[in-house]
Amino acid sequence: MEKTIAQLHTHLSEVPQAFRALPVGQVTKKAAPEKWSPLEILGHLCDSATNNLGRFIRAQQEQPYRVISYQQNEWVSLQAYQDRPAEEILQLWVGLNQSILRVMSSMPPANGQNACELPDGTTVTLEWLMSDYVEHLAHHLNQIFPKD
């Protein structure tokens, strides 16, 4: 868990400044009509954080915990991220991930081994689910801030 926590902490330290440094036109630019803009990607990461924060808390209380998927495209559309101020979405992302960081940091180590059943029936540990969340976050941050 230490590596996962450290990675999330790094993202929280680096992303706000990097996102604010993006040119205004780039924040809402879509590569294609069906693709998300960087602002919508950040909004999706807020939706992911919202869903996973609840999962991380419930999985410490309910055993086995059953992960329920959500309709990601519909969430992004219904939240209207493309039309909202970038700073509002950025602050939401920071706040949600600070909460996730606190949940991860304060979790008793034994709870990390709690069983979580994915929608496809696969069983993983809560620690795996938390690590997967941070990997998913990194994947989408790489879409916003591509490495040359």
78-117 per-position pLDDT tens digit: 999 999 999 999 999 999 999 999 999 999 999 999 999 9
Which residue(s) pair with 124 in the sheet? 116
* pLDDT score at 129: 98
Which residues of the chain, if any, have pLDDT below 70? 148
* pLDDT score at 58: 97
Tokens of residue 14, six digits: 């680096």
| Close Cβ partners of 22 (under 8 Å, ≥ 6 residues apart) | 38, 144
Euclidean distance between CA atoms 8 and 135, whole angstroms: 9
For residue 61, give the nearest of 115, 121, 102 by alpha carbon: 115
For residue 97, give the nearest of 31, 36, 19 by alpha carbon: 19
- pTM of the full predicted structure? 0.94
* pLDDT score at 48: 98
For CA atoms 39, 41, 42, 48, give the dihedral sign: positive
DSSP H or E segment with residue 5: helix 2-20
Domains of the chain: 2-144 (1.20.120.450)
Euclidean distance between CA atoms 73 and 87, whole angstroms: 21
Is the separation of the CB atoms in 127 and 108 below 8 Å? no
Euclidean distance between CA atoms 75 and 12, whole angstroms: 23
